[in-house]
Amino acid sequence: MNAAKKLASACALAAFVTTPALAGPDDDNLMINDEINMVTETAAPAHLQDVLDTIYSGWRFRTDETQALQIDDFENPAMIFVDQALDLFNTVDGTEGKSCASCHENGPEQFAGLSASMPKVIDGKLTTMEDLLNGHRAAAMGAEPWKWSGANMQAMVALIGLQSRGMPMDVAIDGEAAPFWEKGKEMYYTRYGQLELSCANCHEDSYGMMIRADHLSQGQINGFPTYRLKQAKLISRHNRFRGCIRDTRAHTFAEGSDEFRALELYVASRSNGLSVETPAVRQ
């Protein structure tokens, strides 16, 4: 090897070594409790193939320390809330003197697979898990509705979501869902706020890069409700949307608004194929 080549390869090596370790997703494999192997990387669903080749779970963008919290249920702080929801499931509430378990005798396990297909259109209305829970509370139990991002609500959403953990996300985007999906897609690509940022600017064009101290993921919602370390509680999908839009310095939409329902459907459809990770742990 001549001197010039040697120098070139040394430069190449130096460039390789100094490349920031956080460019793109890492190569870790997510196996929960040594038994559930999760899909954290897969081919993008058909509707994304013009813009993305591969979709990655947000887990792949987190530090090793944060990732470790999701590998073992004992260390997953969200499981405390799941336990509380299990108690709630059996607690009588409302004027009818019923608990969830009064009707759903087989326990939360019977909802395996449900969360993987939510949100979906029911009776012409785009329906999220929160809508289903409050609907049943009102109709069957005569109970007061829970607040969208309230502790009880998100704990129960997490408990139902946990039953689908490991199953691939699979929300319908055609038929009755199509108009809602189109609306969500339009929102995803609309620039909001003084900073004029759309969801796509960060989570499609720039994932893997740093936005100040944060390692940008693709913004997948297959792990929601998610335990966020900085808030020390379960965070709803709509809370996360609100936070992102607020950070663009825009007036944001309300949690539980039709806008966020449509956005939830569209963003969920971008996760189609990834494993449901509920409840995930993030920074």
Closest contact distance (angstroms) between CB of 119 and other proteins is: 30
Cα-to-chain-centroid distance, residue 261: 14
33 versus 190: smaller Cβ distance to other proteins = 33
83 versus 205: smaller Cβ distance to other proteins = 83
* Crossing angle of helices 258-270 and 237-247, rounded to 10°: 100
- Helix, coil or strand: residue 55: strand
Under the criterion CB under 8 A, does residue 229 sit at the interface with other proteins? no
Closest contact distance (angstroms) between CB of 80 and other proteins is: 5
Closest contact distance (angstroms) between CB of 73 and other proteins is: 10
Strands 210-211 and 214-215, sheet pairing: antiparallel
Question: For the chain, what is the total number of helices (H) and then of strands (E)?
Answer: 10, 11
Under the criterion CB under 8 A, does residue 150 sit at the interface with other proteins? no
Q: From 72-80, 117-125, 173-181, 254-262, give the range in contact with other proteins by CB under 8 A.
A: 72-80
**Number of residues near other proteins (by CB under 8 A):** 7
Q: In the chain, what is the straight-line distance between the N-terminal and C-terminal CA atoms, in Å? A: 47
16 versus 74: smaller Cβ distance to other proteins = 74
Under the criterion CB under 8 A, does residue 74 sit at the interface with other proteins? yes
Under the criterion CB under 8 A, does residue 34 sit at the interface with other proteins? no
- What is the C-alpha to C-alpha distance for residues 46 and 43, in angstroms, rounded to an integer? 9
25 versus 279: smaller Cβ distance to other proteins = 279
Question: What φ, ψ does residue 221 adopt, rounded to 5°?
Answer: -115, 25
136 versus 147: smaller Cβ distance to other proteins = 147
Among 11, 31, 75, 97, binds other proteins (CB under 8 A): 75
**Closest alpha carbon to 62 in 230, 225, 195, 188:** 230
Q: From 5-13, 23-31, 78-86, 116-124, give the range in contact with other proteins by CB under 8 A.
A: 78-86
Closest contact distance (angstroms) between CB of 74 and other proteins is: 5
Strands in the chain per DSSP E: 31-32, 36-37, 41-43, 54-56, 120-122, 125-127, 210-211, 214-215, 226-228, 233-235, 281-282
Closest contact distance (angstroms) between CB of 172 and other proteins is: 38
Under the criterion CB under 8 A, does residue 83 sit at the interface with other proteins? yes
Return the bridge partners of 214, or none.
Answer: 211
Among 47, 77, 114, 176, binds other proteins (CB under 8 A): 77
Closest contact distance (angstroms) between CB of 213 and other proteins is: 22
Is 244 a known active-site residue? yes
**Closest alpha carbon to 100 in 113, 85, 112, 115:** 85
Element (H, E) at 265: helix 258-270
Among 51, 80, 92, 103, binds other proteins (CB under 8 A): 80
Q: Which two tokens mark 118?
A: 């939510």
| Catalytic site positions | 244
Kindly list the residues in this chain that would bind other proteins in the complex (CB under 8 A): 74-75, 77, 80, 83-84, 232
